[in-house]
Amino acid sequence: MKNIKKISEWGLDYSKKPFLISGPCSAETQDQVIATAKELKSLGVKIFRAGIWKPRTRPNCFEGVGSIGLKWLTMVQKETSMLTAIEVANSKHVHEAINAGVDILWIGARTTANPFAVQEIADALKGIDIPVFVKNPINPDIELWLGAIERLYTVGLRRIGVIHRGFSVYEHSVYRNAPQWQIPIDLKNRFPNIPIICDPSHIGGKRSLIKNLSQKSVDLDFDGLMIESHIDPQNAWSDAQQQITPRSLINIIDNLIIRKVKQEEIPIDILNNLRDKIDFFDNELMETLKKRIDVVKNIAIYKQNNSITILQQDRWRVIINKSIENAVKYDLSDEFVSQLFKIIHQESINKQTEIMNEEINL
Ligand code: PEP
Ligand code: MN
């Protein structure tokens, strides 16, 4: 997929970073759409999003106004000269969107997870040159995400971008959809041209998290942002907790710190020095992990000899509680420390299982 076009080659007005798409989660009424678009336009936003067909996790939620919303988007184009972007989930949506002159499409997270639906959309887009963004699938599966991009590429699309909107989690977390930054970064490593944007609204699920998530994505050199905005966020018909007013949006965008990417602009000896320190601590971490695993091996043998189960719930609770206490002490985030210890604990269980099974085989 080496011919995927960089965002600067999409023929859109992309003068300043971040590339920004904003507008309501859902088109609700003609007035809400037009009023939101006009205010965004007056603040310098160039691409207007709105969901017309809404994939809702549970029934009986607002499922979008449907095709009538397309007329309102045409009005947005005429009255503000903004570009419009909507989500499509099947071939009917694609045909209607193209006929209505929508400028940009995106594929939602639930749809990306379904290869049948993506193929149907790709087939409907054959021979049409329109930019399409692919949101990450709800589950953290890079192959599934890549598969969707490939299906679009195969029918001839070249203006394909990706959107990191976080991944579903079962356990309670501060996020609505937990970000896994490594996944979009891996994707970008494989396809360096692919435009990559962040959707902090669906990652955070609440207004208060949008600013920091946006800054984080900018620091990770993402190309742009898709942020939900609404003229009256509290009374939005969908995703009310995560939408912000156009004015708050611009406040966030204007205060983003855009750092330099190019290495030659950073004095190299300072950077090398800091990198040496990181390498040193990474080595220390590896040494410590190795020592810990050696202890785990001895524990496995002890448990084996004394017929004790591998998983000791009480002990595990003590470890996790202590690590969270330590997180505060060492000024590390709870989320990071508990995730880290979960991985370490899982590896410790794997190792013990391996050793105990070896013993059985003997
Ligand atoms: C949306 O952008 O409104 C939406 C439904 O997003 P996602 O597919 O990321 O849930
Ligand atoms: Mn939404």
Residue with tokens 């990770």: 220
Can you give the three-state secondary structure of 77-137, one letter per residue?
HHHHCCEEEEECCCHHHHHHHHHCCCCEEEECHHHHCCHHHHHHHHHHHCCCCCCEEEECC
Question: What's residue 180's pLDDT?
Answer: 95
Cβ density class 19-42: b for 16+ within 10 Å, e for less: bbbbbbbbbbeeebbbebbbbbbe
Question: What's residue 136's pLDDT?
Answer: 98
At 203, the pLDDT band (50, 70, 90 cuts) reads: very high
Model confidence at 362: pLDDT above 60:
no
Residue nearest to atom 4 of ligand 1 (CA): 108
Ligand 1 centre and the CA of 110: distance in Å?
Answer: 8
Question: What's residue 92's pLDDT?
Answer: 98
Q: Is the CB of 250 under 6 A from ligand 1?
A: no
Question: What's residue 253's pLDDT?
Answer: 97
Ligand 1 centre and the CA of 21: distance in Å?
Answer: 13
Q: Are 259 and 216 in contact (CB under 8 A)?
A: no
Q: Which of 4-13, 106-115, 198-207 has the lowest mean pLDDT?
A: 4-13
Percent helix, strand, coil in the chain, to 5, is 55, 10, 35
Nearest to 143 by CA among 115, 179, 170: 115
pTM score: 0.77
Mutate to test the pocket of ligand 1, among 62, 63, 65, 87 (most ligand atoms within 8 A of CB): 87
Model confidence at 319: pLDDT above 90:
no
Residue nearest to atom 9 of ligand 1 (CA): 109
Torsion on CA atoms 190, 192, 193, 198, rounded to nearest 10? 90
Q: What is the mean pLDDT of residues 279-298?
A: 88
**CA–CA gap between residue 212 and residue 269 (Å, rounded):** 30
Lookup: tokens for 142: 């890079």
Ligand 2 centre and the CA of 1: distance in Å?
Answer: 30
Q: What is the mean pLDDT of residues 102-127?
A: 98
Q: What is the pLDDT of residues 219-264, one digit of tens each?
A: 999 999 999 999 999 999 999 999 999 999 999 999 999 887 766 5
Residue 344 or 29, more confident: 29
Which ligand 1 atom is nearest residue 165's CA?
A: 9
Question: What's residue 4's pLDDT?
Answer: 97
Beta bridge partners of 106: 87, 133
Model confidence at 265: pLDDT above 70:
no
Lookup: tokens for 50: 């709105």
Model confidence at 6: pLDDT above 90:
yes
Q: Is the CB of 164 under 6 A from ligand 1?
A: no
Q: Which of 47-51, 80-84, 218-222, 350-354 has the lowest mean pLDDT?
A: 350-354
Q: Is the CB of 165 under 6 A from ligand 1?
A: yes
Residue with tokens 């095709």: 67
Residue 118 or 330, more confident: 118
Amino acid occupying residue 140: P
- Average pLDDT of the chain is 92
Beta bridge partners of 271: none
Helix (H, G, I), strand (E, B) or coil at 192: coil
CB-count burial class (<10 Å; 0-12, 13-18, 19+) for 74: middle
Nearest to 81 by CA among 67, 101, 99: 101
Residue nearest to atom 6 of ligand 1 (CA): 108
Ligand 2 centre and the CA of 148: distance in Å?
Answer: 21
Q: What is the mean pLDDT of residues 20-28?
A: 98
Per cent of the chain over pLDDT 70 is 97
Model confidence at 148: pLDDT above 70:
yes
Ligand 2 centre and the CA of 119: distance in Å?
Answer: 23
Q: Is the CB of 25 under 6 A from ligand 1?
A: yes
Residues at Cβ < 5 Å from ligand 2 ion: 25, 239
Got the DSSP string for 235-303?
A: G-SS-GGG-B-HHHHHHHHHT-------GGGS-HHHHHHHHHHHHHHHHHHHHHHHHHHHHHHHHHHHH
Lookup: tokens for 61: 């939620």
Q: Which of 155-169, 214-228, 325-339 has the lowest mean pLDDT?
A: 325-339
Ligand nearest to the CA of 233: 2
Question: What's residue 100's pLDDT?
Answer: 98
- Please, which residues have CB within 8 angstroms of residue 254's CB and are 6 or more apart in sequence? none
Model confidence at 61: pLDDT above 90:
no
Which ligand 1 atom is nearest residue 238's CA?
A: 3
At 360, the pLDDT band (50, 70, 90 cuts) reads: low
Model confidence at 171: pLDDT above 80:
no
Q: Is the CB of 51 under 6 A from ligand 1?
A: yes
Model confidence at 293: pLDDT above 70:
yes
